[in-house]
Structure 1
Amino acid sequence: MASPHPLSAATMFSLKDWVAVVTGGGTGIGLMIAQTLAANGAKVYITGRRADVLERSARIHGTPEKLGPLGGSIVPIAMDVTSKDSIKSVVAEIGQKEQYVNLLVNNAGIYGSRPNARPENGPEAFGEAMFAEGDSNIWQKVFDTNCTSCYLTTAAFLPLLAKAASGPTGKVGSVIINSSVSASLRIIANSLTIKYAQVSKAAVSHLTRQLAYEFSHEKISIRVNGLGLGYFPSEMTTGTSNEQNESIDLAPRFAELMSGMDLQSVKRMGTPEEVATIVLTLAVNDYMWGTITIVDGGLSLRAAGDL
């Protein structure tokens, strides 16, 4: 039987013998990414705070029947990305089982809430509502989860990522940081917030570039790239998950959201396949260093921003 062509998808995107870690991997985009990696041969550790959600996702989506003949596995492991102790504990646990980690996907994130007033309510009402957000320390919570956790988690996994190059694949370790297209946009959807969309995610995008620069040093040599995703079905964008821990694109609701931002040209949310193709590319393409790839259905072509 002839060997697969070296430029065939099966050859180029094979993740056989890979070990990957996906934070926030139990639902939404994180679960899409975990399934993508596992379906192509990787052993994927999915992390999150909700152990029951992780275990359900692994049980439903990590079976040999679901992943196919070239599939790897999905392993649940609880981790709070805002806790240094939790991160260190999980790194130690994975380090006892694995000699290396090929890929770390920093995906976990939250969005907080909007102020109770809006600009059209005038300076006094809007200023008071903005100031009141500090009462719950929500700014710090959003930054700890969306940005600081990426820094700390990547730092903790750095030794295992550095060992990837001496593993069976011979490829250097890689980090993918899931930011958001909103990092470069000035428009704010009703479901998003200034601290999420315009500030914490902008910080994540800049952190991606900075880590890419730092880790390009010859004594580390780990690739770092980012994702600037638009709207994909997740608990953040649809508000819920089904019994399979997957979220469904509700077309009427999405159309209403786009209409509210005068972005009717974006007709639908993205699909798992559209996440999969870019994740696989970032994972295996050793010539990509320090990029932030926008996948948003054309949203950023119409929205005000600075890309």
Structure 2
Amino acid sequence: MGSLDDRVVLVSGGTQGVGLAIAQAALREGARVVVTGRRADVGEAAAADLSALGDARFVRCDVADVEACRAAVEATVTAHGRVDGLVNAAGFTERGSVLDTTPEMFEQHVAVNLRGPFFLMQAAIGDMVRRGEPGSVVNVLTMSAHGGQPHLAPYSATKAGLAGLTKNAAYAHRFDRVRVNGVNIGWTDSDGEDVIQRRFHDAGDDWREQAAKRLPAGRLATPEDAAGIVVLLLSDASGVVTGSVMDWDQTVVGTSD
């Protein structure tokens, strides 16, 4: 406990799912946390719940809006004087293949999954560099960045782009002591995943149980599982590591199944 004592952490998409679990974990480790989301009602409710764990605030931000991204970092600096850590957890996952993805759908994936994180990083790293202080950025990626399923073409493409950006930023700012890492999260049991399974895959109430039968651990990962590795990368416990894109899943890339 206390690995993030007095650190200021901004979590995009921190009002639900994996992002919310990351915010909770960061608060438990002593951080002051600002979460962003598109919906004010959801965000304010999340911040109220998070406040039971520590200093938590909500800033409304649609990461598809570059100015909103810049404003979210500015609001964090105004409230706390600085940003020590950034987690890009917001994401957009609409189904689309190479053959049926529309330009509009593709652009929305780019806006949320790549452009927004880019400009959040620009603003947050800019604050770290101006102050001459170390910092940490963690980009929440996906195993689909390795290629993905046919119906995840624009999602896979944009998350693969973010993986490349992760390494680029890490290299660019290694001597500023700003560490930038990414986590390729695998199949995780979140509220959003439940909606996706029912909407796109005709899943029934027992989809989790059926999925668990096919997984080595006998269960899906949870948002809390994912939050643990993200908080580790935010903290000094991850040492000097930067430019790492970690596979966090039950599958092993490159094997036949």
Normalising by structure 2, report the TM-score.
Answer: 0.86
**Cα pair 2:11 2:89 within 8 Å, conserved:** yes
> Between Structure 1 and Structure 2, whose CA radius of gyration is higher?
1
**Counterpart code for 1:96:** T
* Counterparts in 2 of 1:251 and 1:286: CA distance versus 1, 3 Å: farther
**Cα pair 1:101 1:163 within 8 Å, conserved:** no
* Counterparts in 2 of 1:212 and 1:60: CA distance versus 1, 3 Å: same
Q: 1:269 aligns with which of 193, 198, 220?
A: 220
Deviations 1:229-261 (A, max 9, x none): 012222431118xxxxxxxxx9831354578xx
Report the equivalent of 1:211: 169
- Residue 96 of structure 2 is aligned to residue 114 of structure 1: yes
- Residue 3 of structure 2 is aligned to residue 52 of structure 1: no
**Cα pair 2:190 2:222 within 8 Å, conserved:** no
Alpha-carbon distance between aligned partners in 1 of 2:96 and 2:61, rounded to the nearest angstrom: 27
Q: CA RMSD in A?
A: 2.6
Unaligned segments of structure 2, at least 5 residues: 197-203
* Counterparts in 2 of 1:27 and 1:186: CA distance versus 1, 3 Å: closer
The residue correspondences of 1:162-173 to structure 2 (distance < 5 A) are 162=129, 166=133, 172-173=134-135
**Counterpart code for 2:116:** S
Deviations 1:90-126 (A, max 9, x none): 22222222222110001110111235xxxxxxxxxxx
Normalising by structure 1, report the TM-score.
Answer: 0.73
* Counterparts in 2 of 1:51 and 1:303: CA distance versus 1, 3 Å: farther
* Counterparts in 2 of 1:288 and 1:204: CA distance versus 1, 3 Å: same
Helix, strand or coil for the counterpart of 2:82?
coil
Helix, strand or coil for the counterpart of 2:206?
helix
Alpha-carbon distance between aligned partners in 2 of 1:278 and 1:300, rounded to the nearest angstrom: 18
Alpha-carbon distance between aligned partners in 2 of 1:94 and 1:237, rounded to the nearest angstrom: 29
Q: 1:161 aligns with which of 128, 133, 137?
A: 128
Moved over 6 A (4+): none
- Residue 178 of structure 2 is aligned to residue 178 of structure 1: no
The number of residues matched between the two structures is: 248
Q: Identity over aligned residues, as a percent?
A: 27
Report the equivalent of 2:207: 253
Alpha-carbon distance between aligned partners in 2 of 1:303 and 1:252, rounded to the nearest angstrom: 28
Give 1:277 shift: 2.4
Q: 1:151 aligns with which of 100, 118, 125?
A: 118
- Residue 6 of structure 2 is aligned to residue 17 of structure 1: yes
Report the equivalent of 2:185: 229
Helix, strand or coil for the counterpart of 1:25?
coil
Report the equivalent of 2:68: 86
Helix, strand or coil for the counterpart of 2:102?
helix
